A and B are shown apart, each in its own frame.
Chain A
């Protein structure tokens, strides 16, 4: 493809961190490309800007079930042709899969560079020409049910679901991505087809291609496979539910005779693109990241918890920072929660030390560097940033963290780690 044709077909948008963004003029498909020749492989990822947050009441789990059905036949990749989506690319050495989450659905492949076009051909085909049928849905339902049961087999996931359900009352984040059992059982092909026809369009997707392939080759393949797909005939619906302001601490207690105890505390936090998010990410690291965090010392090193973790999810809408403690033998959730509260109050009062700030910076900057070890890891991280609303989010966070000072950390702790924004969950035998 000549330079003139490239210019005619694509609009260059920006370049950040070695990643170039283009738009396919014909249908609005967003394309991210990064040339990386460390290994003779290419990673491909199509991120649809639709996740379980876009599901209507009564149809929870649809995004996830649809993701499963997109591994059934499509117009040019199907069992009758002998090139079924499930295994076609694996014959060329690809690793492929797909995942559904709150804000996005992504389909991805990592494959030898000489086969990268095949991944684009397949992804373009199933973007609009999936042939899934009611028979496919019926045959896939036991698989989805089994995935649902496997999720509920994990006590941490079980409690996490309950904490999210208690923390959010109106926003779709209160339902787990996999959906409710009733909705999963009640899903039908017609509704799923409607969902597909609403959200699976090039102007609601980002195609990322990172690896040992030049833009010229990528551009030619994008035009060849995605060029004929039309833009969505109607505007893509935007989810506009706003969670009401929480006014008091919420509590949830689960009793399961599994011989283990877990304590979980969630605090409402803003979206990943909010100006306070970088400070919250650092706050999470100081509280529970790495080897020397405050909660590691207060809970794990004192024998109150076997393990702790703090997650500060980068979400599209305001979400939940979640602190999880697996209670150690001889300790109780009550004691752990009291200690945790003391640590939070101390942080709010005194803020972090200079040394803590420096260590958290080093840890987070190292994590960003590690994410770029291999194109597959990098493309998955960028997919999460896309879901949060800005594919360059990772680079912006890196820059913000490099410049971070002590004051914003104390300030966000005071602003967000409050009892009125808190949800506490425990699981005990």
Chain B
């Protein structure tokens, strides 16, 4: 159904461009990426600064020139690192797409990393990290990933304090060296969706990206992380009014593993964002303990072995009760499994909501990009909901029992929380 709309061109370098016409009246959305990200940079902060500095100037254009150009064409454009890729994404009106594509190619090909701009960006970066340090959700997330993973794993997060130290030391020379060593035209993936003609986009990419350098470097590799003993940590931030709570467990599997889809549905039955998951039905709707409580499969992007995560937020006085309610629901679904009816309804919900998720050009471009970056066949865009619709209660229950092991669940909390909040 969707596959036939996607037109793809593979370039001799190995680069892949996917274009999907979408009736969006003048808007073009795109998500692209190239080898890079925090794994190659060996630091989350270094990767962030590298991405941010790309808009600070090229060998031909100053920062001012870039800013003026982007505003002259009304475009949005961001560069941001993921774990293993440098992502660029944005939107622009159709008549300006070539100008924007040309700028992106120039930025990737010859960024200048000006020292003066780096100095300013660092002072801004320190302020952003100060903001991160008081963000309870961010701090709980960082703490959980540090309990679950080890520093070489893509899902391990640098602490805010570590990021501050890294930021202080970054030099323009290091950024330039990293860029030259990492950026590889052969790893380019670009997904474009909207008011576009595929052949025109293919020829524009060929025209503007032809000088992007090739690299021989190897891809990042690491060991998968299996579940280990439960660990708990708290990050007290006294001035706050809300505690962010995260629980999680490693899976040791990636998205291509045959257990992934049944586990995904099981985790959605537990706590899909929205109102139909068990956690929202009980912890919020029946017990009124929180505004939101959801569960996810996290950190599976681009081939990484991910983890199960459960998130909620509580006022201090409801924390113990809220946490107990979440753990009770986890124990219940693992022990008894979801009912046959629950599995059937969630299968139907998932397949129907798939159409809803892909109903604008930006979401479509992102989905196609993700498939390509994960080296999956594009036909998976149609196969995925079909595979979900075939799931059985027995299969989903087995996956929950196999991966969601309550005794190995690690927990993190940040906010007005006591240091010994997990003691009980």
- B-contacting residues of A (Cβ < 8 Å)? 36-41, 71, 86-87, 90-96, 110-112, 115, 139-143, 145-147, 149-150, 152-153, 155, 256-260, 290-293, 296, 300-303, 305-307, 326-331, 355, 358-360, 362-367, 369-370, 372-377
Cα A301 to Cα B240 in complex, Å, equals 31
Cross-chain contact A292 with B67 (CB below 8 angstroms): yes
Cross-chain contact B27 with A373 (CB below 8 angstroms): yes
Query: How far in angstroms is the closest Cβ of chain A from B380?
Result: 19
- Chain B residues near A36 (CB, 8 Å)? 23
Chain B contact residue count (CB 8 A cutoff): 75
Cross-chain contact A155 with B194 (CB below 8 angstroms): no
Cα A374 to Cα B25 in complex, Å, equals 10
- Is B180 engaged at the interface, CB distance under 8 Å to the other chain? no
Cross-chain contact A141 with B288 (CB below 8 angstroms): yes
- Is B359 engaged at the interface, CB distance under 8 Å to the other chain? yes
Partner of A153, one of B64, B242, B284: B242
Cross-chain contact A377 with B281 (CB below 8 angstroms): no
Name the interface residues of B265-294: CB closer than 8 Å to any CB of A.
274-276, 280-281, 284-291
- Is B130 engaged at the interface, CB distance under 8 Å to the other chain? yes
Partner of A149, one of B29, B241, B274: B241
Chain B, residue nearest A142 (CB): B288
Cross-chain contact B120 with A329 (CB below 8 angstroms): no
- Is B361 engaged at the interface, CB distance under 8 Å to the other chain? yes
Query: How far in angstroms is the closest Cβ of chain B from A121?
Result: 17
Listed by A's residue number, 29 A-B pairs whose Cβ atoms lie within 8 Å are A39-B355, A40-B355, A87-B276, A90-B274, A90-B349, A91-B348, A92-B348, A92-B349, A92-B352, A93-B354, A94-B352, A95-B356, A111-B356, A139-B287, A143-B288, A143-B290, A150-B242, A152-B241, A291-B55, A292-B71, A326-B128, A326-B131, A330-B123, A362-B71, A362-B72, A366-B92, A370-B76, A373-B194, A377-B360
Partner of B242, one of A149, A291, A301: A149
Q: A291-B67, A307-B124 are in contact. Are A93 and B355 (CB under 8 A)?
A: yes
Chain B, residue nearest A367 (CB): B74
Which of B68, B91, B352: most chain A Cβ within 10 A? Answer: B352
Main secondary structure of the interface of A (DSSP, over half): mixed
Cα A330 to Cα B362 in complex, Å, equals 38
Partner of A38, one of B22, B133, B241, B313: B22
Name the interface residues of B122-179: CB closer than 8 Å to any CB of A.
123-128, 130-131, 133-134, 136
Cross-chain contact A110 with B315 (CB below 8 angstroms): no
Cross-chain contact A41 with B356 (CB below 8 angstroms): yes
- Chain B residues near A143 (CB, 8 Å)? 284, 288, 290-291
Partner of A372, one of B25, B68, B274: B25
- Chain B residues near A141 (CB, 8 Å)? 288
Cα A363 to Cα B345 in complex, Å, equals 44
Cross-chain contact B275 with A90 (CB below 8 angstroms): yes
- Chain B residues near A358 (CB, 8 Å)? 72
Q: A86-B275, A326-B131, A328-B123 are in contact. Are A363 and B353 (CB under 8 A)?
A: no
Q: A258-B134, A303-B119 are in contact. Are A110 and B242 (CB under 8 A)?
A: no
Partner of A376, one of B23, B64, B75, B359: B359
- Chain A residues near B358 (CB, 8 Å)? 39
Q: A112-B355, A142-B288, A365-B74 are in contact. Are A359 and B68 (CB under 8 A)?
A: yes
Partner of A142, one of B239, B275, B318, B354: B318
Partner of A291, one of B71, B125, B354: B71
Name the interface residues of B222-247: CB closer than 8 Å to any CB of A.
239-242
Known: A110-B359, A373-B27. 15 other contacts (CB 8 A): A39-B359, A41-B355, A87-B281, A93-B354, A112-B355, A153-B241, A258-B239, A293-B71, A301-B63, A326-B131, A364-B74, A366-B74, A367-B74, A373-B362, A376-B360
Partner of A95, one of B71, B350, B353: B353
Cross-chain contact A146 with B71 (CB below 8 angstroms): no
Top 10 A-B residue pairs of the complex, sorted by shortest distance between their CB atoms: A93-B352, A374-B360, A366-B74, A306-B127, A38-B23, A329-B126, A87-B276, A86-B275, A292-B67, A39-B359
Cα A307 to Cα B133 in complex, Å, equals 17
Partner of B361, one of A256, A290, A374, A376: A374
- Chain A residues near B350 (CB, 8 Å)? 93
Cross-chain contact A362 with B74 (CB below 8 angstroms): yes
Cross-chain contact A363 with B74 (CB below 8 angstroms): yes
Cross-chain contact A257 with B71 (CB below 8 angstroms): no
Cross-chain contact B127 with A260 (CB below 8 angstroms): yes
- Chain B residues near A291 (CB, 8 Å)? 55, 66-68, 70-71
Cα A301 to Cα B314 in complex, Å, equals 38
Partner of A37, one of B23, B66, B71: B23
Query: How far in angstroms is the closest Cβ of chain B from A86?
Result: 4
Chain B, residue nearest A289 (CB): B71
Cα A96 to Cα B273 in complex, Å, equals 11
Cross-chain contact B25 with A363 (CB below 8 angstroms): no
Type the 1/0 row for B240-258, where 1 means its CB is closer than 8 Å to any CB of A.
1110000000000000000
Cα A303 to Cα B117 in complex, Å, equals 9
Cross-chain contact A87 with B274 (CB below 8 angstroms): yes
- Chain B residues near A376 (CB, 8 Å)? 359-360
Type the 1/0 row for B289-324, where 1 means its CB is closer than 8 Å to any CB of A.
111000000000000000000000111001000000
Cα A139 to Cα B281 in complex, Å, equals 12
Chain B, residue nearest A257 (CB): B239
Cross-chain contact B353 with A93 (CB below 8 angstroms): yes
- Chain A residues near B285 (CB, 8 Å)? 86, 139
- Is B93 engaged at the interface, CB distance under 8 Å to the other chain? yes
Cross-chain contact B24 with A38 (CB below 8 angstroms): yes
- Chain A residues near B136 (CB, 8 Å)? 153
Cα A86 to Cα B71 in complex, Å, equals 42
- Chain A residues near B63 (CB, 8 Å)? 301
Cα A40 to Cα B136 in complex, Å, equals 39
Chain B, residue nearest A138 (CB): B288
Query: How far in angstroms is the closest Cβ of chain A from B108?
Result: 18
- Is B73 engaged at the interface, CB distance under 8 Å to the other chain? yes
Cross-chain contact B67 with A296 (CB below 8 angstroms): yes
Cross-chain contact B130 with A145 (CB below 8 angstroms): no
Type the 1/0 row for B200-238, where 1 means its CB is closer than 8 Å to any CB of A.
000000000000000000000000000000000000000
